[in-house]
Structure 1
Amino acid sequence: MKSLEQFYNFEEYDDPARYDEQNSGYKRDIPLLMKWAEKQNGPIIDLACGTGRATFPLARAGYDVTGIDVHQGMLEEAKRKAHNEDNINWLLEDCANLNLHRKVDFIFTVGHSFQHFLTNDSQDGLLASVSRHLNEGGVFIFGPRFPNAYELISEPEEEIDHSYMDEATGHTVDVYHLSRYDTLSQIQYNTKIRRYKNQHEEVVHEGKSLIALRFVFPKEMERLLEKHGLSILHVYGDWEEGPISAASSEMIYVCKK
């Protein structure tokens, strides 16, 4: 049996508080999720929920949400924040091998989580899990990165991506990025380098993390979804429901079983 480490990337998520600090402000996907939650009604499943960035807004809107992730540290951080959220059920499970013996009308996975499933088998496992837990007519929403020319260019030299303030230490953190795209496996291997600087602009700490992301092309995705009984209702180029084009950075799928 293959180990989970062959299918998942844990390193970038080994500091859940840091992950939360850098990503909690992202909310572009929430309006579309809310729109479809209102249409579908009933309980919701958030696959690869992480620390609950998208889980909490839906729960606070009154929906019964189950947040599922394979990373215990991320779930613990979510639970820590959820002391007043009585309508969230957190589960430590493998999303590619899920059997909850229940079905819902709405499932989603966001944060480019689909790309963490690096093999054909793991992608099939995820979509089989989705299909197994959706009622007929149920909706599945997810949004991987679009494999445009820019995304697939390797960046062997360090490039600064962004900077932020580390609340715990007060240090400025410069985040650098390197990447290598393997055309045969369609996997992009990324290295993130974080350099922590004090008030004198001196680097006092450096950390590295690795993450691999599988890219899927649109026609390939069509066949993959069809294989698992999921028909495409909409494909958008962003979470604001803009049209998809060769210049898009994301492809947002709204699918129906």
Structure 2
Amino acid sequence: MTWDETFAVDYERWSAHMTDDIAFYAALAREADGPVVELAVGTGRVAIPVARSTGHRVIGLDSSSAMLALARANATTAGVDLDLREADMRDLHLDEPAALVYCPFRSLLHLPTWSDRRRTFERVAAALRPGGRFAWNAFAFDHHVAARVDGAHQDDRTPHTLRYWVGDNRIDIIRDDGATSSLWWATKNEWLGLLDVANLELETLHGGFAAEPFNDASAEYVFVARRPLTR
């Protein structure tokens, strides 16, 4: 995982524009008949409203101690009980099988290699009860966007520069203070391949959180998969 802890300081401002995903993941949680787990829980941006709206106790994992500290503070302020654990999603282990595991805000893209993603998907599959769901979203790479913003300074949210490295499928987010975080994008077929090797079944693929059809103009992958009832 590549994450500079100083990103935690302005993370809530950085992620403030992302709101449509909350209702989507909350709806999945309401349908869950067992434990609910959020990977890369961050500041609790999604987990807190999911727990509040569903009544479920959400287990939130994150490898960043700074982000977990913010999540604990935010949960206390909101009067919500989150089970927060400092852990690497590649090593996911649960004492009780989950009915839902979800990973919002493109956080799976912090995994740099196919091996990292395969390991994560296999650990998720092992942690799900039969019929349990795995949901996540990720951006769909657009070379037009990359050509327009590569190397250009941006002042929105937190002043930063994006650098695209097509050979590595990598985007570096470089803040003006030098803090850097990286994302590795994946194609639709790569995501589907990960489901295949983890023995998970695709339930839906949409181009947005309102169940928009995924097509060539879609900027986002929104996946829901299931562990088969029998293997």
Same fold by TM-score greater than 0.5: yes
Question: What corresponds to 2:18 in structure 1?
Answer: 26
Runs of 4+ aligned residues of structure 1 deviating over 4 Å after TM superposition are none
- 2:180 is aligned with 1:187: no
Deviation at 1:40, TM superposition (A): 1.9
Deviation at 1:148, TM superposition (A): 2.2
Question: What corresponds to 1:196 in structure 2?
Answer: none
Distance in structure 1 (CA, Å) of the matches to 2:11 and 2:40: 14
SS of match in other structure, 1:99: coil
Give 1:130's match in structure 2, choosing from 124, 129, 139: 124
- 2:225 is aligned with 1:241: no
Give 1:160's match in structure 2, choosing from 154, 157, 172: 154
Question: What corresponds to 2:47 in structure 1?
Answer: 55
Deviation at 1:14, TM superposition (A): 1.8
TM-score by length of 2: 0.89
Distance in structure 1 (CA, Å) of the matches to 2:150 and 2:24: 36
Deviation at 1:87, TM superposition (A): 3.1
Distance in structure 2 (CA, Å) of the matches to 1:162 and 1:253: 28
SS of match in other structure, 1:29: helix
> Could you say which structure has the larger radius of gyration?
1
Question: What corresponds to 1:105 in structure 2?
Answer: 99
Number of aligned residue pairs: 225
Distance in structure 2 (CA, Å) of the matches to 1:23 and 1:156: 20
The one-letter amino acid paired with 2:173 is N
Unaligned runs of 5+ in 2: none
The one-letter amino acid paired with 1:182 is V
Question: What corresponds to 2:68 in structure 1?
Answer: 75
- 2:161 is aligned with 1:177: yes
SS of match in other structure, 2:95: coil
Structure ranking higher in helix proportion? 2
Distance in structure 2 (CA, Å) of the matches to 1:150 and 1:192: 23
RMSD (Å), alpha carbons: 1.9
Unaligned runs of 5+ in 1: 1-7, 164-172, 194-206
Deviation at 1:64, TM superposition (A): 1.1
Distance in structure 2 (CA, Å) of the matches to 1:14 and 1:100: 29
Does structure 1 retain, via aligned residues, the 8 Å contact 2:52–2:80?
no
Question: What corresponds to 1:229 in structure 2?
Answer: 199
C-alpha offsets along residues 155-188 of structure 1, whole Å, 9 cap, x if unaligned? Answer: 453232515xxxxxxxxx6x242312232x3222
Distance in structure 1 (CA, Å) of the matches to 2:98 and 2:106: 22
Deviation at 1:190, TM superposition (A): 3.1
Question: What corresponds to 1:90 in structure 2?
Answer: 84
Deviation at 1:191, TM superposition (A): 2.1
The one-letter amino acid paired with 2:197 is K
Percent of paired sites with the same residue: 21
> Cα 1:151–1:41, aligned 2, differ >3 Å: closer, same or farther?
farther
Question: What corresponds to 1:197 in structure 2?
Answer: none
C-alpha offsets along residues 207-246 of structure 1, whole Å, 9 cap, x if unaligned? Answer: 2322211111111211111110111111111112111122
SS of match in other structure, 1:143: strand
C-alpha offsets along residues 192-214 of structure 1, whole Å, 9 cap, x if unaligned? Answer: 33xxxxxxxxxxxxx23222111
Does structure 2 retain, via aligned residues, the 8 Å contact 1:43–1:104?
yes
> Cα 1:191–1:17, aligned 2, differ >3 Å: closer, same or farther?
closer
